[in-house]
Amino acid sequence: MTDYFHLNLERDQLLSLSTLGLAHLGDGVFEVMVRSWLILHGRAKVKDLHRATVQYVSAPAQARRLEKILPLLSEEEHDVFRRGRNTAPHSVPKAASRGEYQAATGLEALLGWLYLQGRTDRLNELFEIMMEGE
């Protein structure tokens, strides 16, 4: 049975995955981390949790948080981010610019890539930096 919470894909497997697939997974990873952070830090009343979550996981918010970690990425991590950012979006949400949406897609691809390798320590490290000052 596959343990979907503790994946550790090999490099060849990771390279065969689509960038948008990585971003799709990374979006979910980031949302779970934000939801956990909101609950653990008491940042929102229960009735406001969804609204608070959306404020953190929106493309503009992700693009702003990305700026905090971009200088800290390894060359390989930066390559994954760049690949995700450069993937042509099919559509852009009304609340985001094309640049914000592409930056958020790059961040999500990076988070999905780290998750699939089982690199939860690195995910937590980057997440903590992104959430500093909140």
CB atoms within 10 A of CB 104: 29
Amino acid at site 39: I
Tokens of 52: 């608070």
pLDDT bin (cut points 50, 70, 90) of residue 91 is low
Q: Pick 2 or 107 by higher pLDDT.
A: 107
Q: pTM here?
A: 0.90
**Which of the residues 3, 12, 27, 79 is marked catalytic?**
27
Average model confidence (pLDDT) for the chain? 89
- Asked if the model's pLDDT at residue 72 lies above 90, the reply is yes
C-alpha–C-alpha distance, residues 90 and 20, integer Å: 11
CB atoms within 10 A of CB 61: 18
Sequence spans of domains, the chain: 11-131
- Determine the CATH number of domain 11-131: 1.10.1520.10
C-alpha–C-alpha distance, residues 100 and 127, integer Å: 18
pLDDT bin (cut points 50, 70, 90) of residue 62 is very high
Clarify whether 27 is annotated catalytic.
Answer: yes
